Chain A
Amino acid sequence: MKNRLLWPLIALGALLVLNLVFTPSFFTLRMQDGHLYGGLVDVLKNGAPTLLIALGMTLVIATRGIDLSVGAVAAIAGAVTCVHIGGSGSAGTAFAGMALALVLCAVLGLWNGFLVAGLGIQPIIATLVLMTAGRGIAMLVTEGQIVTVNNSAYRQVGAGFVVLPTAILISLLVLGLVALATRKTALGMLIEAVGVNPQASRLAGVRTRTIIWTVYVFAAVCAGIAGLMISSNVSAADANNAGLWIEMDAILAVVIGGTSLAGGRYSLTGTLLGALIIQTLTTTVYTIGVAPEVTLVFKAVVVIAVCLVQAPKARAAFSFRKVAVS
């Protein structure tokens, strides 16, 4: 396990060192009005939605699935909440709206689970349906407008502080809960069993379908919470652009963290590292002063590098060469 996390750790370390060289103030933390500020806090805060979605994605990928619809689900969550809140400023409306949105997300997760586990459709395609239709649904909810709200209770989710930004605390809480639920019980092993061989695990008495269903619902709810964060941070719901391409970032985070897309094993710590790498990379590009759009090139390079380092065939090729040289 340690060996598998070594490369992501090195990559993250290298990025942080790079930041230290370019902006020495990157690592300074300061307290102001009881709130913690600093470069590292920014990385964690901006990376919180990606981390949340990546957590859900990790479990889905561990069952040999994939969920492309999370970005659209995040957009729907933000849209539903903002439309529900409307002009109201009361905390009660905000919580009701968020609860409504998360329940709806769970239903969307059930739908994905139904397509994958119930009808046996390939996960990529099953979730592609909601990825395409989902943004349409979000726009239907907001009637194509960007809905802005002014609700202090809602703002707390994405922009609030409890010493640290609330977004960080929420995502770390979810990370802790998932780690407890899957690593301290047999659930994690069952999920991996489904990923290795669904047929065999079913014959061995694992409730394969229920597990697949559960992970898709969990992924959708995570996406919903992330959607709330994104929309709350700007106090608006943008059906078109909220969470755009976040599914790709989440999948990247999971893959960089050493979870195989072929399913059967996963690492939550790896996913955390992966999400941090992606966010640090984005922040680094900003601070170095390269046009932010060019981040994509760096992302591509990192993905390919990490994938090649982890690919068994590439490893074999490298070690072969080492032997040949010596």
Chain B
Amino acid sequence: MTTLAPPSRFLPVLATVGLFVLAFGIGSARYDGFASGQVVANLFIDNAFLIVLAAGMTFVILSGGIDLSVGSVVALSTMVTASGLRAGWPVPLVVLAVLLIGATLGLLMGLVIHKFDVQPFIVTLAGMFLARGLCFLISVESVSIKDRTFRDVATAAIELPGGVTITYNVVIALLVVAAAMYVLHRTRFGRTVYAVGGNESSALLMGLPAARVKVGVYVISGLCSSLAGLLFSLYMLSGYGLHAVGMELDAIAAVVIGGTLLAGGVGYVLGGLAGVLVLGTIQTLISFQGTLSSWWTKIVIGVLLLVFIAVQRTMVRR
């Protein structure tokens, strides 16, 4: 029998997209100027780094792990970018250095997790402390970015039809999402990530390269974090050790709200994107509302997390 209903495995992602549409609909109905293309574009502009983080985090969570270091790696990346540019390094060299640092940190954490069987939680917690400590080792103060090329890229606007403008950040973030989708859903590596997250022993017995995947996801996450750090430096135009405090929680929340199971094995990159958009819409709603204070954002995110986890729980039981 053929039905028009989508396969049930897409339901969590669709629920999140539905929530986004609903939240946006409420905003459009209540506030003038909410339902404009630019508000949607701003969602992407203000959360480009989070989109990239969520894409990387999806890999780790799908494999059954967790990466608490991403926020600190973002901070470290902004610091390296800012101080590198201040020292007069050319932009390509800075970008390369930042990406290398992120990937190396990820590789180290992945190796410790895999080779020594230490819980990902503890290892990435150590990574989180290390990266933030390294920021302060470079400089305790905030370092502003004055490099001409960098500022030009940061402030450049891309005109879209309808008078909507976006930044290069958005383009990069969407490219990362596309690449992540390709790797996860279309390559052998991606299939193995799902297999390892579903059941590591089975994956091993099937002869899949579980070791490579378990280390690889942390390299990907580290790479995404450092890229997100570059986007964040473009967004903030400064490097500071206290940037992106608690961003790892936002990334994890976005991925969970996007329907990815924390136990591993189930979820999509697009879910993370939808999750970020939901979080962004809530923030926009609260800022449009005006009288509600910003701490309501935290409470609403907590409640959303709860609802999605409870729903996931009942679905898994079934």
Contact = CB atoms under 8 A, between A and B. Distances in A.
Interface of A: 66, 115, 119-122, 124-126, 128-137, 139-140, 143-144, 239, 248, 251-252, 255, 261-262, 291, 293-301, 303-304, 307-308, 311-314, 317
Contacts of A317: 116
Nearest to B130: A300
B252 A311 contact: no
A135 B122 contact: no
B133 A261 contact: no
B118 interface: yes
A132 B298 contact: yes
B263 interface: yes
Interface stretch (B48-56, B205-213, B304-312): B304-312
A303 B125 CA distance: 9
A143 to B, nearest CB: 8
B298 A124 contact: no
Contacts of B303: 133
Interface in B203-241: 241
Contacts of A293: 132-133, 135-136, 140, 241
25 contacts: A120-B313, A121-B309, A124-B262, A129-B309, A132-B249, A133-B302, A136-B299, A143-B293, A251-B122, A252-B125, A255-B122, A293-B133, A293-B241, A297-B129, A297-B130, A297-B137, A299-B129, A300-B126, A300-B130, A300-B133, A301-B130, A303-B126, A304-B123, A307-B126, A313-B117
B133 A125 contact: no
Contacts of B129: 248, 296-297, 299-300, 303
A125 B127 contact: no
Given A128-B252, A128-B305, A137 B116 contact: no
Contacts of A303: 122, 125-126, 129
A119 B310 contact: yes
B112 A295 contact: no
B262 A129 contact: no
A132 B310 contact: no
Chain B interface residue number, banded: 35 or more
A136 B303 CA distance: 11
Nearest to B69: A300
A269 to B, nearest CB: 20
B24 to A, nearest CB: 22
B116 A139 contact: no
Contacts of B252: 128
Which secondary structure characterizes the binding site on chain B?
helix
A126 B125 CA distance: 18
Given A293-B133, A293-B140, A296-B132, 19 more contacts: A120-B313, A121-B309, A125-B262, A132-B249, A133-B301, A135-B298, A137-B299, A139-B295, A140-B299, A248-B129, A261-B119, A296-B129, A297-B130, A298-B133, A300-B126, A300-B130, A304-B123, A307-B122, A311-B118
A296 B122 CA distance: 14
B144 interface: no
A115 B121 CA distance: 20
A122 B310 CA distance: 11
Nearest to A137: B299
B70 interface: no
A308 B133 contact: no
A1 to B, nearest CB: 21
Given A297-B134, A314-B116, A144 B295 contact: yes
Given A311-B118, A313-B116, A313-B117, A251 B125 contact: yes
A299 B133 CA distance: 9
A140 B299 CA distance: 9
Given A248-B125, A261-B121, A313-B116, A122 B295 contact: no
A124 B305 contact: no
A81 B111 CA distance: 46
B115 interface: yes
B297 interface: yes
B241 A136 contact: no
- Give the 10 A-B CB pairs with smallest separation, nearest first: A133-B302, A296-B133, A297-B133, A136-B298, A293-B136, A300-B130, A139-B295, A136-B299, A300-B129, A303-B126
A295 B249 CA distance: 22
B253 interface: yes
A207 B252 CA distance: 32
B256 interface: yes
B66 interface: yes
Contacts of A119: 310, 313
